[in-house]
Amino acid sequence: MSQNVALVTALQDFQTARNKAALQEATARLTGKSTSLLSYEDVRKKLKAEGSMEKGLQEIPIDAIVGSVDRFNDFTRTFMPRQDNDSWRWANVQVATQESTGVPPITVYQIGGAYFVVDGNHRVSVSRQMGNTSIQAYVTEIRTKVPLSPNDQPNDIILKAEYAQFLERTNLDKSRPDSNLWVTSAKRPGMEMDVGAPSIYWTLEAQIEAHRFYIQQTQGREISYEEAAAMWYDEVYWPVMQVIYDRGMLIDFPERTVTDLYLWLSEHRAVLRQNLEWEIPPDLVADNLTTQFNSKWSIGQLGSRVLEAVTPNELEAGPSPGQWRKERLLPRLLPRQENRLFSDVMVAVTGHEKGWLAFEQAIIVARREDGRLKGLHVVDTEEEKNSPAVKKLRAEFNQRCQAANVSGELAVEVGKTVNKICERAWLTDAVVVPLSYPPDSSLSARLLGSGFRNLIRRCARPILTVPGKPSLLKRLLLAYDDSPKAKEALFVATYLAQSWPMEVVVLTVIERENDHHVLITAQEYLKLHNITATFVESQLAVGEAILQTAQAQACDVIAMGGYGRNPMLEVVLGSAVDQVLRESPYPTLICR
């Protein structure tokens, strides 16, 4: 082909390339996606260049060339020409490319997985138009705090610039080299706020500053911002990150990063804290949001939706036996105490004498577990929530917690006490309630329904009932019949014997000849866990056997499974649980 013919063909190819550029720009105006090349100098400054290294001659992918040092306005992101007056130069480069001598390699800067042309912009453009997928280049790698991707858009660069500034201020890329706190530029599910907003990393920096203040107050020493950032990463961010991985949340939200979800959980946790008046461990927030999230809910709607716990009707069986233990033994997040079964104890706060006795019992449990109290007071109307009486009750609750050196929070709810306890039970590990109105023994009373019976049946956590003065919880009577709920009581008794420690007496009622194996089952389980216990068999009626054995064995707390029969049969025939609650002077731990 003569040079003139080659030049005419090259000019035609240039026009084709110009038409592509025009189409790309028209599409960009409709989609909002930029077609501009990135400015090397702009990116270098924003991503905080830290040095360079010559890498020599390499074959690099043309698709990874995303910017230019000084010609970023002359070509589109795909290196199609944007200027009509560039036709002759572009055509001459194409002609030279097709000659035997060819053209020299281009020169580029590399940042992460992306390249910027130093010399050879027209050669890249011609190569793309000719359908080439790679090109030879002399490469100089530029090291930055944040890597670049060939797919990054200008908005991504802005966000990465924020990240680079965050790293420069915190030095986490040096102090915690394995850390990756990148966030996406997409909106978080259910959020109106854009993660890519300029203030997003300031959210993390505010947390670091707050943690710095906390450390300085608790340790009585000044610490640098960089030291505080490292401590925040270890003590605040990293545990939440572990929960995100443990719960598989990245599978549920595949286009999000860990830090996206961290920020999301933090904001939801704050909303729940405001709505519930309790500090909610992030692991519980993660569990609940993963199962209940609907992208159509706003953050405020979700905060109220979390309160709408699904509780069964009065004659339904309630949560399945052992469900509470499975939930409780999932990997937990600090500051929940490791190897503690009852770290968070809910106590029903009535303001009456029996209510404060139950509070003192809850204090004893919290001290044994090095745990926290979650107080709940229920009123009839919204007006009562801010009444002088409730303010006085809140002040007394706080004063009693402070005097006992136990962390506590009091929430005030409007509604029915049983419903509100059941709704909040999933946030805690056990529920302590005063036994002011035990289940009545009459059939008519059972038919009319008992609030306490409904609470036992519906509550998702073990319940410790307190009929009078608090017990020191030194010697426990376990009523064991090998039922699923009794097995949960056996599990709790074993834990208490190991961890507190507590003496254990195991009672089995022999109603049939083959019931002797029931006691053997409990003996083998306790022996497996190196627990020495006293074992008692009785042929009395279950309720009577429990009451008499507790007194004879000098026990000061009873543990047993909840209702075992069909709810309707319980109503008609009554229950040993009801009898124990009516007649026992000792606290009773009812397990499910």
Does residue 308 register a pLDDT over 80?
A: no
Q: Which of 4-18, 159-173, 433-447, 478-492 has the lowest mean pLDDT?
A: 433-447
Is residue 385 within 8 Å of 377, Cβ to Cβ?
no
The CATH label, of 3.40.50.620, 2.40.30.40, 1.10.1040.10, 3.50.50.60, for the domain at 316-470 is: 3.40.50.620
Report the alpha-carbon distance of residue 325 to residue 336 in Å, rounded.
15
- Torsion sign over Cα 444, 448, 451, 452: positive
- Exposure on the CB side of residue 338, measured as CA atoms within 13 A: 2
Question: Which of these CATH numbers, 3.30.930.10, 3.90.1530.10, 3.40.50.620, 3.40.50.1820, describes 3-150?
Answer: 3.90.1530.10
Q: Which residue has the tokens 């979390």?
A: 306
Alpha-carbon distance of 503 to 473, in angstroms, equals 9
Q: What secondary structure letter does DSSP report for 478? A: E
How confident is the model at residue 301, as a pLDDT? 43
Query: If you average pLDDT over residues 351-372, what whole number do you get?
Result: 96
Query: What pLDDT, on the 0 to 100 scale, is given for residue 329?
Result: 59
The pLDDT of residue 448: 40
Let me know if the fold of 3-150 is the same as that of 316-470: no
Q: What is the pLDDT of residue 338?
A: 54
pLDDT averaged over every residue in the chain: 84
**Could you state, in order of their start, the residue ranges of all structural domains in the chain?**
3-150, 158-306, 316-470, 471-592
pLDDT of residue 562: 79
List the structure tokens of 340: 């503690």
Peptide bond into 335 cis (omega under 30): yes
* Class of CATH domain 471-592: alpha beta
Q: Tokens for 353?
A: 């004498």
**Of 355, 351, 401, 341, nearest in space to 374 by CA:** 401
Task: List the end-to-end C-alpha distance of the chain, in Å, as a whole number.
Answer: 89
pLDDT in tens, 8-67: 888 888 898 888 888 988 887 777 777 888 999 999 988 988 889 999 999 999 999 999
> Which pLDDT tens digit goes with each residue over 559-573?
998 765 444 434 433
What tokens were used for 379? 């009123």
Tokens of 81: 């020409």
Return the sign of the alpha-carbon dihedral for residues 250, 255, 259, 261: negative
For residue 274, pLDDT beyond 80: yes
Angle at 229 between CA 228 and CA 233, to 5 degrees: 115
Cα 439 to Cα 248: distance, rounded to the nearest angstrom: 43
* Selection from 140, 118, 126 nearest residue 58 by Cα: 140
Q: What is the pLDDT of residue 185?
A: 58
**Locate tokens 């009078």: which residue?**
468
- Other Cβ atoms within 10 Å of 220 Cβ, number: 7
Task: Give yes or no for a contact between 453 and 535, defined as CB atoms under 8 angstroms apart.
Answer: no
Q: Tens digits of per-residue pLDDT, 66-111?
A: 999 999 999 988 899 998 888 899 988 988 888 877 889 999 999 9
C-alpha to C-alpha distance for 357 and 471, rounded to whole angstroms: 10
User: What is the residue whose two structure tokens read 């040095």?
Assistant: 51
